[in-house]
């Protein structure tokens, strides 16, 4: 089940004066995150598109509340996947800062498809590109593509799945968003 959440709309619903298009201040971030959590489906796995297209700017405090806390709370406790849409250079400084601060990574949607940004090691980055090329795939295929042992590859893939950066169905893995 895919849920689409337009952050611009959530922001305007959250603030008493519905004129603003900037995600700023920690209280606003906390209120927006609460609204997002209320809109999420209870069933696992779930996929949620968080759409920044109508948000002009997000500051560090708000990025910490909206992005970091959302990922830290939900992605680990539940099988909840997020794809971030509409992130631009105007949002990136604050988003990058909170990802680095918490050692997080996230899935962003670009014209070329989904990509991972944030804190990842080299094997994880290469593994993700290999999964994108193959689509749905198993660990031993990936290990062969990457020229790494199955043990190391499985470790990287498991870590990425636990961070909800890739999806798992049975013994196969695929990019987040494939099930849309």
- For residue 33, report the phi and psi dihedrals to the nearest 5 degrees: -60, -40
123 contacts other proteins (rule: CB under 8 A): no
Residues in the chain: 180
Number of residues in contact with other proteins, rule: CB under 8 A? 29
CB nearer to other proteins: give 12 or 78: 12
- Is residue 55 reached through a cis peptide bond, with omega within 30 degrees of 0 on the bond before it? no
Stretch that binds other proteins, among 2-10, 61-69, 73-81, 120-128 (CB under 8 A): 61-69
Q: Is 119 in the site for other proteins (CB under 8 A)?
A: no
Q: Which is nearer to other proteins, 34 or 43 (CB)?
A: 34
CA distance 96 to 136: 28
What secondary structure does DSSP assign to 87-109, as a single string? --HHHHHHHHHHHHHHT-EEEEE
Q: Does 15 help bind other proteins (rule: CB under 8 A)?
A: yes
> Is residue 35 near other proteins by the rule CB under 8 A?
no
Minimum distance between the CB of residue 23 and other proteins, rounded to whole angstroms?
10
**Given candidates 22, 34, 76, 149, which one binds other proteins under the rule CB under 8 A?**
22
- 40 near other proteins, judged by CB under 8 A: no
Measured from the CB atom, the residue of 31 and 116 that comes closer to other proteins is 31
Closest separation in Å from C-beta 28 to other proteins: 6
What does 19-68 look like in DSSP terms, one character per residue?
T--EE-SHHHHHHHHHHHHHHS-SSSSEEEEEE-TT--EE-HHHHIIIII
Dihedral sign computed on CA atoms, order 127, 175, 135, 174: positive
Does position 70 interact with other proteins (CB under 8 A)? The reply is no
Q: Which residues contact 122 (CB under 8 A, 6 or more apart)?
A: none
Instruction: Give residues in contact with other proteins (CB under 8 A).
Output: 15-17, 19-22, 24-28, 56-57, 59-61, 64-65, 68-69, 89-90, 93-94, 97-98, 101-102
């Amino acid at each position: 089940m895919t849920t689409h959440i337009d952050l611009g709309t959530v922001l305007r619903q959250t603030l008493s004066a519905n004129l603003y298009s900037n995600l700023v201040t920690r209280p606003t971030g906390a209120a927006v995150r609460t609204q997002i959590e209320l809109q999420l489906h209870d069933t696992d796995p779930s996929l949620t598109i968080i759409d920044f297209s109508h948000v002009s700017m997000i500051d560090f405090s708000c990025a910490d509340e909206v992005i970091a806390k959302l990922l830290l709370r939900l992605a680990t406790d539940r099988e909840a996947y997020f794809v971030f849409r509409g992130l631009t250079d105007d949002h990136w400084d604050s988003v990058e800062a909170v990802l680095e601060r918490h050692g997080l990574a996230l899935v962003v949607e670009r014209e070329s498809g989904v990509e991972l940004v944030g804190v990842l090691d080299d094997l994880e980055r290469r593994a993700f590109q290999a999964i994108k090329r193959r689509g749905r795939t198993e660990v031993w295929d990936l290990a062969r593509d990457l020229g790494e042992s199955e043990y190391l590859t499985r470790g990287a893939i498991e870590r990425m799945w636990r961070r909800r950066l890739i999806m798992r169905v049975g013994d196969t893995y695929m990019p987040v968003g494939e099930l849309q």
